[in-house]
Amino acid sequence: EADIYQTPRYLVIGTGKKITLECSQTMGHDKMYWYQQDPGMELHLIHYSYGVNSTEKGDLSSESTVSRIRTEHFPLTLESARPSHTSQYLCASSDLTADNEKLFFGSGTQLSVL
Amino acid sequence: GEDVEQSLFLSVREGDSSVINCTYTDSSSTYLYWYKQEPGAGLQLLTYIFSNMDMKQDQRLTVLLNKKDKHLSLRIADTQTGDSAIYFCAESTGGGNKLTFGTGTQLKVEL
């Protein structure tokens, strides 16, 4: 079944650790996104990609980085996690050839940095 | 830039209708969307409407669009406890452009 997957579901780590949040989709979508969702519910776009080897910064500045080596995979990396990075991270994908922007979301990764 | 606003919280009784409102500023919006987020989960697309439509109905959901006032609403008929969630409206200009999400409305359904 075509879907979008995020791992881990929950992550608790100490300050200064390097982490990678995984996102994979089996829908054949070209476009992928990372959103950061704060406790106040608002979504902030931090990275997106139009396809392989394409990465763009979103509306909210982020210390994280992303890569897109394969169509189905869009990992997000924090080189040195800090408590200010504590948040829910949501990955999404969409069909670039469609004339609308229907996004399909993963279940999210809840990151807590101590 | 684009701005999409929603009220933060709505509480209704089970069986009543819920109306969640959204205002946006980009007059070139082509598509407008409603997403639902249940606790601890990602967002799920509920429905969307093309900007040349005034209304779209899908079972218990009715979307109304007033393009002149840049106002979008989602009506949920016969609201159930399973409808308790955060609802986000979003708009895009299509053609591979980014979505702009609203601030989200927390819907609480009480018995």
pLDDT digits (tens, 9 = 90+) for B30-53: 889 999 999 888 999 999 999 889
For chain B, percent of residues with pLDDT exceeding 70: 95
Q: What is the DSSP pairing of strand B43-50 with strand A10-13?
A: unpaired
Which residues of chain B are at the A interface, by a Cβ-Cβ cutoff of 8 Å?
Answer: 8, 30-31, 33, 35, 40-45, 48, 50, 86, 88, 90, 92, 94-99, 101, 103-104, 106
**What is the arithmetic mean of pLDDT over B82-111?**
88
Output DSSP code: residue B98.
P
b/e code B78-98 from CB counts within 10 Å (16+ = b): ebeeebbbbbbbbbbbeebeb
Half-sphere exposure of B46 (CA within 13 A, CB side): 26
What chain A residue is nearest to B42 in terms of C-alpha separation? A107
- List Cα–Cα distances, B44 to A100, B16, B62, B88, in angstroms: 16, 23, 17, 10
**What is the arithmetic mean of pLDDT over A16-26?**
97
**What is the arithmetic mean of pLDDT over B70-95?**
92
* End-to-end alpha carbon distance in chain B: 41
Letter for the amino acid at B34? W
pLDDT score at B87 = 97
pLDDT score at B98 = 77
pLDDT score at A62 = 85
pLDDT band at B97; cut points 50, 70, 90: low
pLDDT score at A53 = 95
pLDDT digits (tens, 9 = 90+) for A45-75: 999 999 999 999 988 888 999 999 999 999 9
pLDDT score at B92 = 85
**What is the arithmetic mean of pLDDT over A26-55?**
92
> How far away is chain B from the Cα of A15, in angstroms, using its nearest Cα?
24
**What is the arithmetic mean of pLDDT over B52-80?**
95
| Cα torsion angle, B45, B25, B103, B64, sign | negative
> Whole-angstrom Cα distance, residue A51 to residue B94?
18
**What is the arithmetic mean of pLDDT over A13-35?**
95
For chain B, percent of residues with pLDDT exceeding 90: 73
pLDDT band at B9; cut points 50, 70, 90: very high
What chain B residue is nearest to A107 in terms of C-alpha separation? B42
**What is the arithmetic mean of pLDDT over A10-16?**
96
What residues contact B26, with CB distance under 8 A and at least 6 apart?
Answer: B2, B91, B93, B100
**A21, A90, A103: which to substitute to probe chain B, counting the most B Cβ within 10 Å?**
A103
